[in-house]
Chain A
Amino acid sequence: MSKILIVDDALDVREFSKSFFKKCGIDVLTAADGEAALRVIEQEMPGLVLLDIRMEGMSGIDVLRELRRRDISIKVMLVSATKDEMVIKEAECLGCLGCIQKPLVLEELKRLVFLYISE
């Protein structure tokens, strides 16, 4: 079963996306902040990471940088509530797949997830 990691500081987002993807046959790992996300990535190596940019402590961008530093190659989609060109550019430079805007529609997200996992 394919595994994805959802990193978001909102509990409901973690819970309901987990429940949603489970029904599609995708195993969802969750992390509430950047540090936890890095731990999960190192241990589980999920097929795709959905990463919230704005979080307490490490931001999504910080996580991307850290992955780069540790030389971990993994597919990452950024999730953001606001459109910040500078941040998106930096994320792309750090090897991120792209940035999707909140609020998300789960059906749309599911399409993207299947697209990247099947690659």
Chain B
Amino acid sequence: MTDFLGLDFFEQLYLITAFITAIESVALSIFVFLKNTGSRLHRSYGLFGICVGLWSVSLVCCHLSLDLQQALLWNRLVHFFSVFIAISFYNFILILLQCRGRKVLNVGIMMAVIIGGFCFTPYIISHMSARFGFRIWPSIGSLYLVYLTFFSFYSYYSLFLVFRRFEQESGIKKEQLRYIFIALFIGFVGGSTNFAYSFDLPIPPVGNLFVFLYVLILAYAIVRYRLMDIRVAVASTVILFLVYAFVMGVPFYFFYKQQYLMSLLLMAFFAPFGPFLYLFFQRRANAALLKVQRRYQQTLIQASSGMGHIKDLRKLVKLIVRIIMRALKPDLCAIYVYNKEAEAYDLGANLLKNNAMPLLESVHADAKVVEYMFNEGKPILLDEIKIRAVDKNRVAASAVALEVAGFNAAMLVPSIIDGRMVAFMVLGDKLSGAPYTADDINVFTILANQAALAIENAQFYDEVKRSHEQLYQAEKLAIIGTMADGLAHQINNRFNTLSFIIDDLLDSIKVFQRDPAKLSVEQLIPVLELGFKSMIGNVIQGGAVVQGLLNYARHTQTEKRAIDLRELIEDSLQMVALKIRLSDIKVQIDIAQDAEVVHGNAVQLQEVFFNIVDNAHYSMTEKKDSDPTVIPTIIFHAKREMDTILLTITDNGMGIKLQDQKKLFTPFFTTKASSRKGNGLGLFVMQKIIQYDHGGKISFQSEYTKGVEIRIVLPVSKSG
């Protein structure tokens, strides 16, 4: 290939690699820049890459120059751009590492402008001449050392900054910095071999042959370690570049060999394949690159839809653990949920792989690691804590590191909501051995937030359920209390009456014994007869009370079974009679033949009917006060509807005001003026019994001042 412009092989290689460097640099920097024009990091990289590209292009042009004058101008441009390579590199590193150094940068920019200006004077490059086999090579001017010092300082100081940070970082960030350092070390050391010939040192600029590698290494870091989030774009570029290098390079080779026809044919042959090949590889690359991201997306979608539905706390934490195990495949995953009573985080659920060490059952809320997580507020990697622990100022961090080591964890993820840490997750190393990436941490941040919400939701639901249960129990006790009170009253009244009768009779006998003239036997006998009849009457009444109690006790089995509806209603009325005088009310029971037997819990249903009649009585008494002509009437009507029995209970009381109707089934809602007459739990408990315990329905219709119609749907008894 010695025929090409009369250059020897090394010089040809030198120019080709420089040309590749230029194209790659510019292409990558344009992609980086266009991918996110708003990001300072992307802009600064774009600037640096363009400078490298221009420098390399100038280098190529210089060596292809036909005369020395032209070569001198290009070479001055080479030096001009290299000045800006150094300073733009420093700028990029400052932004990448987010470290201070603006003053050094500003001074550098000023110096770059001045030195850049001097590049066009003979003080930096005096002239061009042949040297060590190169046709043309620059000879240095008097200020060349100033230029060299400036260039070396900014480029190598920047590299030093990268290296220092590399040693401190961990995980994915460390990997990114490793590749940035290697890439730019090759770039700068390689480029620096260009200086030797100018100082008459016999070291050929072999390093420059490898400068083009820096872009490839950076591209690798971008794709493999998500540097600057442009992996997909970079992969597409590399594929485009390779496909077209082949599709156009092969015909060009034949063109270069002056076989024009062959070249033309190949071009015609390859041209249609170009786009297809590109699309094919690009799709493959995208699928591979986005695989992890897709999986994460899937995870998050699954998690959020699943978590929203589950109200059971235990199931919820199990789901979260399962999702994480599937998505990330760590060797352990556990969730600790805050337990208010114990003031500790209890192990909610966990999955272990590879026989990992068993986990702590509970972590006290005062533990250092809890405080640490809360203060950080985001996922924490054990490696990070260890680094901080090395730092002497962070004594606490080392204690935390020890505690974390106790978990056997690689990452801790706090779930914080409204300034409270409701839970935290513990994750082991990934089974694949790969480090946790920035994406992982992002996913965990989102997952942790969702989990916090869901866990709080579930805890709240638990609490509500528990308090509903308590309300229900309270109301049940209240009903039993009311019944017992009525019972005691009734029995006591019977005894009281009996006592009166007996006392009176004894007194009459006493009178007779003292003075038979005053009260003769003929007079005494009817008195005694009346007394005994009354006593029997009272005993019978007392017996009825006791029978009512027995009927209630008869129904104390809690399981559901076939119940005769009429009997049930009558037993309920008997209980109500202990509390109120039912003779004031007309009760009508109208049950269709095929609606006689319901399937249910007799005690509960009796409580429901007791409540309904009690409420109706209250409402009808109120109505009678305003309109004495009304005859209070309750009508029980039952009929069959498919597999259910529809029972309607209608009264002609005051009814319910429209504005109260919606609130009727809420606990503690009462319209009764005196809280002694009701605590507002009746309807709420009735709803629970009918809907939750019997799978039925309860609803009502009412017009104010006209009365209430309550509709209860109950399952029909299969056996009945």
Q: A and B: partners?
A: yes
Task: Point out which of A12, A17, A56, A81 has the most chain B C-beta atoms below 10 A from its C-beta.
Answer: A12
A82 to B485, CA, bound (A): 8
B677 shortest CB reach to chain A, Å? 12
B482 close to chain A: CB less than 8 A: no
B492 CB–A CB distance under 8 Å: yes
C-alpha gap A56/B492 in the complex (Å): 16
CB distance from B599 to the nearest CB of A (A): 37
Whole-angstrom CA separation of A54 from B534 in the bound complex: 22
Asked whether A13 and B496 contact (CB < 8 A) given A23-B507, A23-B511, the answer is yes
Residues of B within 8 Å of A107, CB to CB, are 503
Chain A CB within 8 A of B352 CB = no
The one of A15, A19, A20, A81 in contact with B492, judged by C-beta atoms closer than 8 angstroms, is A81
* CB-CB under 8 A for A20 and B500, given A56-B584, A103-B495, A106-B507: yes
B598 within 8 A of A: no
Q: Is the CB of B493 within 8 A of A102?
A: yes
Residues of A within 8 Å of B489, CB to CB, are 54, 81-82
Residues of B within 8 A of A9 (CB): 581
How would residues 5 to 35 of chain A score, 1 for a CB under 8 Å from any chain B CB and 0 otherwise?
A: 0000110110111011001000000000000
The complex places the Cα of A13 from the Cα of B531 at a distance, in Å, of 11
State how many angstroms separate the Cβ of B502 from the closest Cβ of chain A: 9
A20 to B507, CA, bound (A): 7
B69 at the interface (CB under 8 A from A): no
**B476-495 vs A, Cβ < 8 Å mask (1 yes, 0 no):** 00000000010011001101
Q: A10-B497, A23-B508 are in contact. Are A16 and B531 (CB under 8 A)?
A: yes
The minimal Cβ–Cβ distance linking A65 to chain B, given in whole angstroms, is 13
- Which A residues are in CB contact (< 8 Å) with B492? 81-82, 102-103
Evaluate contact between A13 and B581: CB separation under 8 angstroms. no
Residues of A within 8 A of B538 (CB): 12
For the complex, what is the distance from the CA of A81 to the CA of B538, rounded to whole Å? 16
Hey, which chain A residues are within 8 Å of B306, CB to CB? none
**In the assembled complex, which residues on chain B have CB atoms less than 8 Å from the CB atom of A17?**
500, 504
A16 — which chain B residues lie within 8 A by C-beta? 497, 500-501, 503-504, 531, 534
Q: Does B467 contact A (CB under 8 A)?
A: no
Measured CB to CB, the closest approach of chain B to A107, in angstroms, equals 7
A103 to B508, CA, bound (A): 20
CB pair B498–A103 under 8 Å, yes or no, is yes
B500, A56: Cβ atoms closer than 8 Å: no
**Is B580 positioned at the interface, with any CB of A under 8 Å from its CB?**
yes
- Of A9, A56, A81, chain B has the most CB atoms within 10 Å of the CB of A81
Considering the complex, give the chain B residue whose CB is closest to the CB of A15. B534
A93 near B: Cβ within 8 Å?
Answer: no
Q: How far is the CA of A17 from the CA of B531 in the complex (A)?
A: 12
Q: Is B499 in the interface zone, CB < 8 Å from A?
A: yes
A17, A20, A105 — most chain B CB neighbours (10 Å): A20
Within 8 A of B (CB), among A86-112: 102-107
- Interface: B537 (CB within 8 A): yes
Question: Which residues of chain A have C-beta atoms less than 8 A from B485's C-beta?
Answer: 82
CA distance A82 to B527 in the complex (A): 31
Among B496, B511, B534, which residue has its beta carbon within 8 angstroms of that of A102?
A: B496
0 or 1 for each of B553-587: is its CB under 8 Å from A? (1 = yes): 00000000000000000000000000011001000
Q: Which residues of B contact A54 (CB under 8 A)?
A: 489
Residues of A contacting B488 in the complex (Cβ-Cβ under 8 angstroms): 81-82
CA gap between A102 and B504 in the complex, in Å: 16
- Residues of chain B in range 563-620 having any CB-CB distance to chain A below 8 Å: 580-581, 584
Residue in B closest to A20 when the chains form the complex, CB atoms: B504
Chain A residues near B511 (CB, 8 Å)?
Answer: 23
Cβ-defined contact, B499 with A106, below 8 A: yes
Residue of B nearest to A10 (CB): B497
Closest to A9 in B: B581
CA distance in complex: A10, B489 (Å) = 12
Q: A12-B534, A12-B538, A56-B584 are in contact. Are A81 and B503 (CB under 8 A)?
A: no
In-complex Cβ contact of A13 among B500, B508, B527, B584 (8 A): B500
CA distance A81 to B531 in the complex (A): 22
Chain B residues, Cβ within 8 Å of A20: 500, 503-504, 507
The smallest beta-carbon distance between A58 and chain B, in angstroms, is 11
Q: Bound complex: CA of A54 vs CA of B500, how far in Å?
A: 18
For A104, list chain B residues within 8 Å (CB). Answer: 496, 499-500
Q: Nearest 8 pairs between A and B by C-beta?
A: A106-B503, A81-B492, A102-B496, A103-B496, A103-B495, A20-B504, A16-B504, A103-B499
30 example contacts (A-B, Cβ-Cβ < 8 A) are as follows A10-B493, A10-B496, A12-B497, A12-B537, A13-B496, A16-B500, A17-B504, A19-B508, A20-B500, A20-B503, A20-B507, A56-B581, A56-B584, A81-B493, A81-B496, A82-B485, A82-B488, A82-B489, A82-B492, A102-B492, A102-B493, A103-B492, A103-B496, A103-B498, A104-B496, A105-B499, A105-B503, A106-B503, A106-B504, A107-B503
Q: Which residues of B contact A (CB under 8 A)?
A: 485, 488-489, 492-493, 495-501, 503-504, 507-508, 511, 527, 531, 534, 537-538, 580-581, 584
A16-B497, A82-B492 given; name 10 further pairs at CB < 8 Å: A12-B500, A16-B500, A16-B531, A19-B504, A19-B527, A20-B500, A20-B507, A23-B508, A82-B488, A82-B489
